[in-house]
């Protein structure tokens, strides 16, 4: 079973019959996964994010942290974690610029992204994602996430399922949950990174280009992957919601998908039901 992968590997590496050269060989047999975290003044939350990645049972993870020159003690916290492979702290043009910096230096065959206020649901998530790539032979994998209260730790306020997604639903403002979206590095190299002129919906635009325009192969993984703190750039104000929807309409039109603000706004009926019944369907 997938969740036993880490335990099996730990046993192999700790065996008295496994010398250092053999351990290196075992690690190299596992494809590298790059996880990118962008941060700015994230001292209140980033420690849990870092702990979440450090605790993953998958052995070959490259963690890249891109910080936008934080003015709090984010830098000091990141420097406490030895598992972080690359750490850049310098002024940038926002989250999408930061993610693009990470993509430019990523070495993993598979790339995922975890925000500086989010955590993986448990320590087997990356192992299960890699196993799904190996099983289904696809270029992208995505799953489910849940939003949790920033005032009551552990309280789930909304469950976001990507199960019913297909590219035809982009016109309705529906996409796979971005923190659950894992992509082969070769796809980024072939079809490009995030467009930084989008304020909020650059991830939506990227998924349209990958999954709809270029028809990159994908597979839904029936797994709750990430706990996200409620809020975030796309939902922190009515103005942000308006900008998000305008940008969704823009990227749809730029990529040959017919939609409008009314059609995109229909997604909020689904969100109401997710808020009324936040349990996993």
**pLDDT by residue (tens digit) across 72-127?**
999 999 999 999 999 999 999 999 999 999 999 999 999 999 999 999 999 999 99
| Per-state percent for the chain, helix, strand, coil, to nearest 5 | 40, 20, 40
Note whether residue 148 is domain-resident.
yes
Q: Which domain, by its residues, includes 222?
A: 138-174+199-281
Do 46 and 116 form a contact (C-beta atoms < 8 A)?
Answer: yes
Note whether residue 145 is domain-resident.
yes
Note whether residue 156 is domain-resident.
yes
Of residues 158 and 28, more confidence is placed in 158
Cα-based torsion angle of the residue sequence 169, 174, 178, 184 in order, rounded to the nearest 10 degrees: 10
Of residues 261 and 274, more confidence is placed in 261
Note whether residue 254 is domain-resident.
yes
How many domains in the chain?
1
pLDDT (0 to 100) of residue 4: 44
Note whether residue 259 is domain-resident.
yes
When the pLDDT of each residue in the chain is averaged and rounded to a whole number, the result is 88
Name the token pair of 265.
Answer: 């706004």
Q: In this model, does residue 259 exceed pLDDT 80?
A: yes
pLDDT (0 to 100) of residue 150: 83
Note whether residue 250 is domain-resident.
yes
Note whether residue 116 is domain-resident.
no
Name the token pair of 164.
Answer: 């019913």
């Amino acid at each position: 079973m997938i969740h036993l992968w880490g335990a099996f590997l730990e046993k192999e590496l700790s065996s008295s019959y496994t010398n250092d050269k053999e351990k290196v060989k075992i690690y190299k047999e596992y494809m590298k996964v790059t996880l990118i975290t962008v941060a700015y003044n994230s001292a209140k939350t980033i420690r849990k994010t870092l702990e979440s990645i450090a605790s993953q049972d998958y052995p070959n993870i490259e963690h890249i942290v891109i910080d936008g020159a934080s003015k709090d003690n984010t830098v000091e916290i990141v420097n406490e974690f030895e598992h972080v492979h690359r750490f850049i702290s310098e002024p940038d043009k926002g989250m999408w610029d930061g993610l693009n910096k990470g993509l430019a230096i990523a070495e993993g065959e598979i790339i995922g992204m975890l925000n500086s206020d989010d955590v993986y649901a448990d320590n087997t998530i990356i192992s299960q994602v890699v196993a799904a790539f190996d099983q289904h032979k696809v270029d992208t994998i995505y799953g489910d996430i849940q939003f949790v209260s920033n005032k009551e730790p552990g309280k789930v306020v909304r469950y976001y399922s990507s199960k019913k997604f297909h590219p035809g639903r982009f016109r309705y403002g529906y996409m796979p949950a971005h923190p659950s979206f894992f992509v082969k590095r070769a796809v980024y190299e072939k079809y490009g990174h995030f467009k930084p002129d989008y304020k909020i919906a650059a991830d939506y635009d990227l998924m349209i280009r990958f999954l709809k325009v270029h028809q990159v192969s994908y597979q839904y993984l029936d797994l709750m992957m990430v706990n996200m703190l409620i809020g975030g750039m796309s939902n922190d104000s009515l103005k942000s919601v308006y900008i998000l929807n305008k940008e969704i309409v823009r990227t749809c039109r730029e990529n040959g998908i017919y939609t409008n603000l009314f059609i995109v706004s229909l997604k909020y009926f689904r969100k109401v039901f997710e808020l009324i019944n936040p349990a996993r369907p």
